[in-house]
Amino acid sequence: MGLNMLARHAARGMKALAVAAASMSLSTQAAKPDAGFEARFAPLYATVFSEGSSFSGRAMSADLQALEPLLKKPGFAARDIFRLYYTQASVYARRGMPKEAAEAAQTALTALSGTQDPELSYAHFFLRYSSIRWLADDGQHEAALKWVKAFQAQYPLQQIAVLPAEMRWDESVRPARALDFPSQMQILGVYEDEGYLLHELGQFRAARQANERLLPVARERLKAMGKLQQIRGVLTNIAQNCYELGDLNQAAIYLQERLQIAQAAQDHATVYDSYFQLMVLAHEQKQEPQARQWLARYEQYALNQKDSKQQTRVKELLAELEQRNAGRPGK
């Protein structure tokens, strides 16, 4: 019963990254940064954040690193240190180097621990928000959890409703400007990360408690936004928590709710996976008639969808189920 909650972070904010960066380029012109640094940094910055641009990640990282000695000059602006390492973190992230991305983000955030500058505020938020993903992807679950706790202290779960539903963009200006952040969707995601990280740390009971605190709030807010289907991830995670704790009956209840929501959303992959997980749970509880019933529903769904690949998988699963049953004591 696998889950990959943080995968959603991989796509979030890529447009935001470019827009926030472009916004900063305007504000730094007004700040009159070091001319030597700016002359070398500006074209790199523009290349990284220009939509549709193509560049060598390795070469770009090297070019950005070559600018680091310039930051050691006395009185060098903290905002320019932030810009350099923000850009470097973005490049590392695109290169699939979460450890390095997290380290660069921490350097940027140390240089500029807080900002009231509206041109920098979204970039600052983005680095903190993305650090959860980068640290988790690097296996630094406790460090990622510290960022989660920091967000939770700032945005209590019971007060999420006062936040804007979703982040939006002001497209009337160039570059476009991020508005209404953090959003309910973003902070709900942070709370979902808590359960994931606790589970990865082997703290299954704490993970279940965190997810069950989140579930009613997430259900209410997502329903109000017309996005109830997005609660499937939380249900998957609680089911896995219950499974690890040996509460298979409750795991099945959560998976059935997940199945119903996936069916309504016509999320075929999740429907198939839910049938499979429910079949496995029934089998592990030695409820063979129920296991076969779930597999029969899997097959009927595949037939309705005219999905030959899944129909073939049903035959494979049936053969495996029969093989496992034959190997059980007393058979």
User: What total of structural domains would you count in the chain?
Assistant: 1
* Assigned domain for 94 exists: no
Task: Tell me the average pLDDT across 37-53.
Answer: 88
Residue numbers of the domain that contains 305: 266-326
Q: How far is the CA of 248 from the CAs of 225, 251, 277, 285, 311, in angstroms?
A: 31, 5, 11, 8, 27
pTM for this entry: 0.84
Domain annotation covers residue 280: yes
136-152 tens-digit pLDDT: 999 999 999 999 999 99
Does a structural domain hold residue 305? Answer: yes
- Conformational region of residue 96, where left means phi above 0, alpha means psi within -120 to 50, and beta covers everything else: left
Percent of the chain surpassing pLDDT 70 = 88
In the prediction, which pLDDT does 59 show?
97
Residue 55 is predicted with a pLDDT of 95
CB 191 within 8 A of CB 182: no
Is the pLDDT at 13 greater than 50, yes or no? no
With respect to residue 182, please indicate whether it lies within any of the assigned structural domains.
Answer: no
Q: Are 45 and 18 in contact (CB under 8 A)?
A: no
Q: Cis bond leading into 175, ω under 30°? A: yes
Domain assignment present for 184: no
**pLDDT, tens only, 212-243:** 999 999 999 999 999 999 999 999 999 999 99
Judge whether 19 and 176 are in contact, CB under 8 Å. Answer: yes
Residue 297 lies in a domain: yes
> What's the Cα-to-Cα distance from 201 to each of 29, 240, 241, rounded to whole Å?
45, 14, 12
Do the domain assignments include residue 294? yes
Cα-trace Rg, the chain: 24
> Residue 307: what residue type?
D
What is the DSSP secondary-structure string of 301-316?
HHHHTT-HHHHHHHHH
Would residue 314 count as lying in a domain?
Answer: yes
pLDDT at 315: 96
